[in-house]
Structure 1
Amino acid sequence: MSQTYTKARAKGMMTKQELEEAVRDGRIDTVIVAIVDMQGRLMGKRLTGDYFLQGGLDHGTHFCNYLLGTDMEMNTPPGFREMNWEGGYGDWLARPDWSTLRWIPWLNKTAMVLADVVSEETGELIDIAPRSILKKQLQKSRNRGFHVVMASELEFYTMEETYESIHDKGYEGLLTAGRYNEDYNLLQGTKNEPLYHKFRQYMTESGIPVESSKGEACAGQHEVNLVYADALTSADRHVSFKHGLKEISIQEGYAITFMAKPDHQWTGSSGHIHISLWDPDKTNNLFYDPTAENRMSETMRHFLGGVMKYTRDFSLCFAPNVNSYKRFALESWAPVHIVWSRDNRSAGIRIVGDKQGLRIENRITGADINPYLAYAAMIGAGLEGIEQKIEPEEELKGNAYESNGSLRIPKSLYEAIDCWEESDAVKKILGESVAYHYGYAAKLEQQAYDAVVTTWERARYFEQG
């Protein structure tokens, strides 16, 4: 991960005027308008270029509000306050944020713009929408004189088969695009380089700058590092990147998964988050103090203290699914304890970089996060630490897996739900409506899992039970 903060406009981004010109001369004929749902997926519409030129996006485009009240399978369970049959499942408005407009090189003559979810009556942001949640924390940061800079590292598995073939055989016997651990292994990486080269090239061409890609610690596992940027831009890039990789893999006859733990014998896939606070002019990293111990400023110490104190409270944002908690295992490269350490990959919170590149790396987050929620939780907890002047515990020296007495990451979604519901900080930082909405969604996910009889159960109990 680079230690520099790039503020220039990324290649592949477009202005609204440039889109109009591209539509008129035939280079673009389709405009995708996308919102981000609770699970971090892109949902939206494909509009014709002609409709766009006629002013079809001047006020945004409508969508059914149920899109922010579904489970992973797009069911519409009862119990959500903002969307239900009693309310008729009405419309909200997707209002394009034209600063996110990008060319999509892997789709024919297509551009995409991300949208905020707003009320058509008032034009105000809908509180429970993921992008709104992050924007609220960024406004708090600006009010306190902080500019938040973040980046994501994303790990994933590549399969030598399609989503359809995997589905048809019941998600058993998955064929990874590799046969041995390929962590930094250039020979194994070369075998899939035709695909990974497309990933890096297309992402950069669409305004999602990639630093590097490398093999990860299991067969078929790979990692891509995205370039540091302001927090909202990084979250936008994160979801666009995940969506784009899946689309490209479909075109090439592969399948990509960002599951935290696709198989109990495989290394989990992480989604590490890097963060630092800068001054409003975006010239100085406020985490760095050359006179302080470890070069960590008071602002950084207190931010770190808040993140550590409230990590258990916000675990639903850092590990959102039942499967997420299978990743946290001893000596698995995923942490189990909420401790911090300098350049120590066994710790949940790792301090890396120096001077302008000094930053906090959250290693707890998995590849299955919704980045808007995870970013917002980390920012909100850190700001609370600054406000309360929370000092972090002493730096962990040595093997964090053996850190007896330290706070532990919740072991299950059940435990994370309890932490969420018992937390005053979640309600204070995110708001009561957001706390209810995402807590209720987590309960529904747990209930759905509990109702299913698994292959593991049949194999264990069918004959012997």
Structure 2
Amino acid sequence: MINKKDLIKTIKESAQSKIKFAVVDIDGILRGKTIHKDKFLEVVDGDIGFCDVIFGWDANDKCYDNVKVTGWHTAYPDARARIDLSTYRNIPWDNERPFFLADFSSEQGKDLPACPRSLLKRIRQRATEKGFEAVFSQEFEWFNFIGTSNELAEKNYSDLKPISPGMFGYSMLRPTQYQTYFNDLFDLLEKFQVSLEGLHTETGPGVYEAAIRYDEILQAADKAALFKNSVKEIAYRHGIIASFMAKWNENLPGCSGHIHQSLWDIGQKRNLFFSGDKQSPMSKLMESYLAGQLYCLPHILPMYAPTINSYKRLREGAWAPVTASWGLDNRTTAVRVINGQEKSARLEMRVPGSDSNPYLAMAAALASGLYGIENELELTIPKTTGNEYAQKDHERLPLNLLDATRKMKDSEIPNTLFGEDFVNHFAATREWEWREFAKAVTDWETKRYFEII
């Protein structure tokens, strides 16, 4: 636990004159500032202004025309961000620059409903009030390409060269081709307090997979968000572009962002998912939690799959789930039950891709699990043994972002889980995303229709 007095003393005495802090927008993108340390010391006991346009525009800074939280109608004022001192760390690839995360939680009154980190804090509090400590982690797959951002734009995001060729998962050879980059990822992230459990190649040209070390849910989400941004910054230093698109090429596997989760009693003394019975590998609490996740999943899918591209990954036979389903150590289902020792008994939510916002995806997982516990839901969906893709009687998840968002808007479940103000804002941003896509003329259309029709 960081001692506030000692931290302020450290900052005051530091030779560093600049401090970085960042908030996370609705798409999971870090939006930040560099401020003088004197400014930091002025606001450390209160809040700091941050233009609320970050919740009024999309991933490409184009302003929404359909949200109420902010817009031209409010003149985009400053919202009041609170720097979370517990997130203090130094950036090892930026001269040990001090870094903090902030959010738009309020000690008095209402949080800013569009703030993903504030949402997760509220849901975590609900778990705490029930005596639960949620222990989470996220793992990511991503592709690595040779080049710079300018070169990527000049090529119009085409004709990209991965850092290694071919399909070679778990390769001992491929990481040695960019060994300094590979080692920097592990070592610099460790120094940045984003510890990895493992790092290896996945199947596909230039694709890596990393599992982040587990932690209590808010810190786990912080680490996941910082991981994605940090990988990109470290990659830049090596002349590499890292992409967390869910599906960048139709002929290659997509990139997952699986979420591992368990509930412990406060203080992490006992894993409440562990049954201790080999004949019944899940505790009753775990079964209700899982039942809640499966029940809510079709109604909150955009929380896990927030982009147009997310749904290109959710296809049969593509190492991603397509139904509300579960199985024991089954990688074809939406939720994989992992049992064995008490320390490792957990659920793996396999729906999220690497394009997911960690705060929203983890909030969705925990809130829906708590819903199952609160309503004492029974696990009525039968366990899948073998290939879930061959099953015909399980509910198919929505096929695209528009259908998923409409289902979310028409259901009362999301309002129950997250609050109406958040749902209204989030759903509007996803409708905007679909509208932007719907008017775009794609390469597929040009190739298919230009000459023939």
TM-score (norm 2): 0.96
Measure, in 1, the Cα distance between the counterparts of 2:429 and 2:65.
11
User: In structure 1, what residue type is equivalent to 2:327?
Assistant: S
Conserved? CA contact 2:244–2:355, under 8 Å: yes
Structure 1 residue matching 2:451: 3-state secondary structure: coil
Q: Does residue 463 in structure 1 map to residue 451 in structure 2? A: yes
Aligned to 1:323: 309
Aligned to 1:279: 265
User: In structure 1, what residue type is equivalent to 2:160?
Assistant: L
User: In structure 1, what residue type is equivalent to 2:36?
Assistant: T
Structure 1 residue matching 2:205: 3-state secondary structure: coil
Aligned to 2:55: 68
Conserved? CA contact 1:183–1:217, under 8 Å: yes
1:238-267, Cα deviation, whole Å (9 max, x unpaired): 111111111111122110000000111121
Measure, in 1, the Cα distance between the counterparts of 2:267 and 2:312.
42
Which structure 2 residues correspond to residues 193-204 of structure 1 after superposition, within 5 A? Answer: 193-204=179-190
User: In structure 2, what residue type is equivalent to 1:152?
Assistant: Q
Q: Which of the residues 298, 318, 333 maps onto 2:284? A: 298
Could you tell me how far 1:60 is from its partner in structure 2?
A: 2.5
Measure, in 2, the Cα distance between the counterparts of 1:24 and 1:99.
17
1:125-151, Cα deviation, whole Å (9 max, x unpaired): 222200111111111111111110000
Which structure 2 residues correspond to residues 41-190 of structure 1 after superposition, within 5 A? Answer: 41-53=29-41, 55-118=42-105, 122=108, 124-190=110-176
Aligned to 1:436: 424
User: In structure 1, what residue type is equivalent to 2:61?
Assistant: M
Could you tell me how far 1:49 is from its partner in structure 2?
A: 2.5
Measure, in 1, the Cα distance between the counterparts of 2:250 and 2:5.
50
Aligned to 1:4: none
Aligned to 1:381: 368
Conserved? CA contact 1:38–1:69, under 8 Å: no
1:42-65, Cα deviation, whole Å (9 max, x unpaired): 112101234334x24332221111
Measure, in 2, the Cα distance between the counterparts of 1:205 and 1:246.
16
User: In structure 2, what residue type is equivalent to 1:88?
Assistant: A
Q: Does residue 211 in structure 1 map to residue 185 in structure 2? A: no
Structure 1 residue matching 2:81: 3-state secondary structure: strand
Mark the CA change 1:315 to 1:34 in structure 2 (over 3 Å): closer, same or farther: same
Conserved? CA contact 2:170–2:202, under 8 Å: yes
Structure 1 residue matching 2:309: 3-state secondary structure: helix
Structure 1 residue matching 2:415: 3-state secondary structure: helix
Structure 1 residue matching 2:299: 3-state secondary structure: coil
Could you tell me how far 1:109 is from its partner in structure 2?
A: 3.7
Structure 2 residue matching 1:62: 3-state secondary structure: strand
Measure, in 1, the Cα distance between the counterparts of 2:118 and 2:279.
37
Aligned to 2:177: 191
Could you tell me how far 1:292 is from its partner in structure 2?
A: 6.9
TM-score (norm 1): 0.93
1:262-292, Cα deviation, whole Å (9 max, x unpaired): 1111210000000000011320000111137
Structure 2 residue matching 1:98: 3-state secondary structure: strand
Measure, in 2, the Cα distance between the counterparts of 1:79 and 1:457.
28
Aligned to 1:341: 327
Structure 1 residue matching 2:261: 3-state secondary structure: strand
Measure, in 1, the Cα distance between the counterparts of 2:15 and 2:252.
44
1:300-341, Cα deviation, whole Å (9 max, x unpaired): 000000101111111001100000000012211112222111
Conserved? CA contact 1:104–1:110, under 8 Å: yes
Aligned to 2:358: 371
Conserved? CA contact 1:29–1:109, under 8 Å: no
Structure 2 residue matching 1:233: 3-state secondary structure: helix
The CA RMSD over aligned residues, in Å, is: 1.7
Measure, in 2, the Cα distance between the counterparts of 1:224 and 1:99.
24
User: In structure 2, what residue type is equivalent to 1:350?
Assistant: R
Q: Which of the residues 20, 28, 44 maps onto 1:40? A: 28
Could you tell me how far 1:295 is from its partner in structure 2?
A: 2.1
Aligned to 1:5: none
Conserved? CA contact 1:30–1:46, under 8 Å: yes
Which structure 2 residues correspond to residues 382-461 of structure 1 after superposition, within 5 A? Answer: 382-392=369-379, 393-461=381-449
Aligned to 2:231: 245
1:19-59, Cα deviation, whole Å (9 max, x unpaired): 54544454433211211100101112101234334x24332
Measure, in 1, the Cα distance between the counterparts of 2:215 and 2:426.
27
Conserved? CA contact 1:35–1:43, under 8 Å: yes
Structure 2 residue matching 1:99: 3-state secondary structure: strand
Could you tell me how far 1:293 is from its partner in structure 2?
A: 4.0
Could you tell me how far 1:423 is from its partner in structure 2?
A: 1.2
Unmatched tracts of structure 1, length 5 or more: 1-8
Could you tell me how far 1:371 is from its partner in structure 2?
A: 0.8
Structure 2 residue matching 1:311: 3-state secondary structure: helix
Mark the CA change 1:168 to 1:303 in structure 2 (over 3 Å): closer, same or farther: same
Could you tell me how far 1:17 is from its partner in structure 2?
A: 4.7
**Identity across matched positions, percent:** 32
Structure 2 residue matching 1:101: 3-state secondary structure: strand
Conserved? CA contact 2:64–2:429, under 8 Å: no
Structure 1 residue matching 2:234: 3-state secondary structure: helix
Conserved? CA contact 2:66–2:432, under 8 Å: no
Measure, in 1, the Cα distance between the counterparts of 2:421 and 2:405.
16
Measure, in 1, the Cα distance between the counterparts of 2:6 and 2:156.
46
Measure, in 1, the Cα distance between the counterparts of 2:350 and 2:150.
32
Conserved? CA contact 1:317–1:374, under 8 Å: yes
Measure, in 2, the Cα distance between the counterparts of 1:311 and 1:49.
44
Conserved? CA contact 1:95–1:117, under 8 Å: yes
Mark the CA change 1:26 to 1:221 in structure 2 (over 3 Å): closer, same or farther: same
Conserved? CA contact 1:211–1:226, under 8 Å: yes
User: In structure 2, what residue type is equivalent to 1:102?
Assistant: R
Conserved? CA contact 1:23–1:50, under 8 Å: no
Structure 2 residue matching 1:100: 3-state secondary structure: strand
User: In structure 2, what residue type is equivalent to 1:191?
Assistant: Q
